[in-house]
């Protein structure tokens, strides 16, 4: 290792520590200062939005880095929520049937509810069920090299299918109303302020963890492969990699993140219903990432928080305008601000100071001065 690269490595480690410090500082700020500043209602809202930021991270991983636009993350989100809600309902029922089941004339517990008696299994299911589903669906789709718009449509259709399924199964999942009215979790009441604060803190810890995971996944060789798949999948295939496996893996990780987010959201909002699997909600998640800036992890978090605050503000003030506003937001972001807020800031030269240069991707090769110089030397005229 020569001196320069050793210096680079040290610099990298240094910036990494700085980043860890920043994340810790923000987390501590959120946990220690915010409860003192905000009312309980606002704190709960913030907690929910932070859990939405986790699913935004997952979408960024699959869309921003791998280039697969999933319109079905609502499924994974809701499945995570259902997993934890089922455990709570069973605990509330105290050995009997959950309240809604007896209401609809159910006499015995469906077999797949059984394992949710145990809390460890429920938490395990929050992560694994969405991940497994994403993995299987991803495998079936990616294996046939279905991608691009086709993938998006299939995930959207899957969302509708799951929405219909959960909506229609009155006896199994309480249909349209979903699971509500939570009482206790692990013996403590979930509705007290202190428990909610625990959930809030846990959300922040999980968000920081999710950020670290995504950062780790995207910064190394794996991340570069993802970007390579996004930019030119055929080349990746020709280079001897099998993109399918990577895509399935990323989709599963992203699904797991969505599941965790859904569980935390459910705990803090106190209900889970098929509405979370609505197509509109799944597409909205994508727009958080687009607004924040896809391909940047900070952007995903920022976008989720910003849009949701705008939404809660605007729909408090004028309920009808929100849909107009949301539609306009889609249009504006896509046409004017394709790289989102963070991407725009970066292009404005507010670079993350002292950080290593961004790894340029294929399209931006055209703008690379070195490439242009080379082309000029060879005498190849680039287009336009």
Partner 1 sequence: MLIGLFDGLFNGISIGAVLLIAALGLAIVFGLMGVINLAHGELMMLGAYTTFVVQNVFRQFGEPFFEIYIFFALIAAFFVTAGVGLILERGVIRYLYGRPLETLLATWGVSLILQQFVRSVNWVLVIGLAVFCILFFGGLWVLNRRQSAFHKWAIAALLPLSLGIAIAAGRFLADTYQLAVTRPWFGAQNVDVSAPRWLRGGLPLGNFQLPYARLFIIALTIVCVAGLYYFLQRSPWGLRIRAVTQNRSMSSCLGIPTQKVDALTFALGSGLAGVAGCAISYLGSVGPNTGQNYIVDTFMVVVVGGVGKLVGTIVAALAIGTVNYLVGSGTLALLFTPIQPLADFFTFFATTSMAKVMVFALIIAFLQVRPGGIFPQKGRTVDA
Q: Which residues bind partner 1 (CB under 8 A)?
A: 63, 67, 69, 137, 140-141, 143-146, 148-150, 152-154, 156-158, 160-161, 164-165, 167-168, 233-234, 279-280, 283, 286-287, 290, 320, 323-324, 326-331, 333-335, 338
d(C-alpha 37, C-alpha 39), whole Å: 7
Cα end-to-end span (Å), the chain: 42
In 60-173, alpha helices (H): 73-93, 99-103, 119-142, 149-168, 170-173
Between residues 190 and 276, which has the closer beta carbon with respect to partner 1? 276
Residues 249, 229: Cα–Cα separation, whole Å: 13
Q: Which is nearer to partner 1, 33 or 332 (CB)?
A: 332
Residue 43 or 290: the one with the smaller Cβ distance to partner 1 is 290
d(CA 242, CA 250): 13
370 to each of 2, 153, 224, 279, 349, how far by Cα in Å?
A: 24, 39, 21, 44, 19
Paired tokens of 313: 């503000």
Helix (H, G, I), strand (E, B) or coil at 272: strand
Residues β-bridged to residue 185: 188
In the complex with partner 1, the residue whose CB is nearer, 47 or 138, is 138
Q: Is 331 exposed, middle or buried (0-12, 13-18, 19+ CB in 10 A)?
A: exposed
- Judge contact between 375 and 381, C-beta under 8 A: yes
Q: What is the C-alpha separation between 186 and 184, in angstroms, rounded?
A: 7
* Token digits of residue 223: 């991340």
Burial 27-58 (b: 16+ CB within 10 A, else e): beebeeeebeeeeeeebbbbbbbbbbbbbbbb
Tell me whether residue 198 or residue 279 sits nearer to partner 1 (CB atom). 279
Please identify, using beta-carbon distances, which residue of 96 and 148 lies nearer to partner 1.
148
Residue 313 CA to residue 321 CA, distance in Å, equals 11
Q: Count CB neighbours of 240 within 10 A.
A: 6
**CA atoms of 319 and 311, how far apart (whole Å):** 9
CB nearer to partner 1: pick between 197 and 325: 325
Task: Identify which of residues 94 and 383 has a Cβ nearer to partner 1 in the complex.
Answer: 383
Nearest to 123 by CA among 74, 207, 185, 182: 185
> What is the closest distance, in whole angstroms, from the C-beta atom of residue 168 to partner 1 in the complex?
5
- Which CB sits closer to partner 1, 137 or 179? 137
Count the Cβ atoms, other than its own, within 10 Å of residue 287.
20
Minimum separation from the CB atom of position 112 to partner 1 (A): 15
Alpha-carbon Rg of the chain, whole angstroms? 23
Please identify, using beta-carbon distances, which residue of 152 and 174 lies nearer to partner 1.
152
């Amino acid at each position: 290792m020569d001196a320069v690269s050793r210096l680079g490595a040290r610099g990298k480690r240094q910036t990494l520590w700085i980043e860890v410090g920043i994340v810790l500082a923000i987390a501590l700020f959120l946990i220690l200062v915010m409860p003192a500043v905000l009312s309980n209602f606002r704190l709960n809202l913030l907690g929910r939005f932070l859990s939405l930021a986790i699913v935004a991270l997952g979408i960024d991983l699959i869309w921003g880095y791998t280039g697969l636009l999933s319109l079905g993350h609502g499924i994974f989100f809701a499945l995570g929520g259902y997993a934890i809600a089922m455990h709570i309902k069973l605990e509330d029922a105290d050995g009997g049937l959950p309240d809604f089941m007896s209401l609809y004339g159910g006499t015995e517990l469906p077999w797949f509810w059984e394992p949710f008696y145990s809390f460890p299994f429920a938490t395990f299911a929050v992560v694994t069920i969405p991940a497994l589903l994403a993995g299987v669906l991803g495998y079936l789709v990616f294996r046939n090299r279905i991608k691009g718009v086709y993938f998006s449509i299939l995930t959207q259709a899957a969302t509708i299918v799951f929405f219909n399924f959960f909506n229609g199964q009155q006896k199994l999942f309480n249909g349209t109303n979903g699971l509500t009215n939570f009482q206790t979790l692990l013996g403590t009441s979930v509705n007290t302020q202190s428990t909610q604060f625990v959930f809030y803190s846990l959300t922040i810890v999980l968000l920081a963890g999710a950020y670290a995971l995504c950062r780790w996944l995207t910064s190394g060789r794996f991340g570069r492969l993802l970007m390579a798949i996004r930019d030119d999948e055929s080349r990746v295939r020709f280079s001897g990699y099998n993109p399918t496996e990577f895509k399935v893996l990323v989709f599963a990780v992203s699904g797991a993140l969505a599941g965790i987010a859904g569980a935390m959201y459910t705990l803090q909002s106190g209900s889970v219903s098929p509405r979370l699997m609505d197509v509109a909600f799944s597409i909205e998640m994508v727009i958080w990432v687009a607004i924040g800036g896809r391909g940047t992890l900070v952007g995903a978090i920022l976008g989720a928080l910003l849009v949701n605050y705008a939404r809660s503000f605007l729909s408090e003030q004028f309920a009808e305008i929100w849909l107009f506003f949301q539609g306009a937001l889609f249009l504006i972001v896509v046409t004017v601000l394709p790289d989102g807020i963070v991407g725009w800031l970066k292009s404005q030269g507010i670079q993350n100071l002292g950080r290593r240069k961004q790894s340029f991707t294929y399209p931006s090769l055209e703008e690379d001065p070195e490439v242009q110089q080379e082309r000029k030397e060879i005498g190849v005229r680039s287009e336009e």
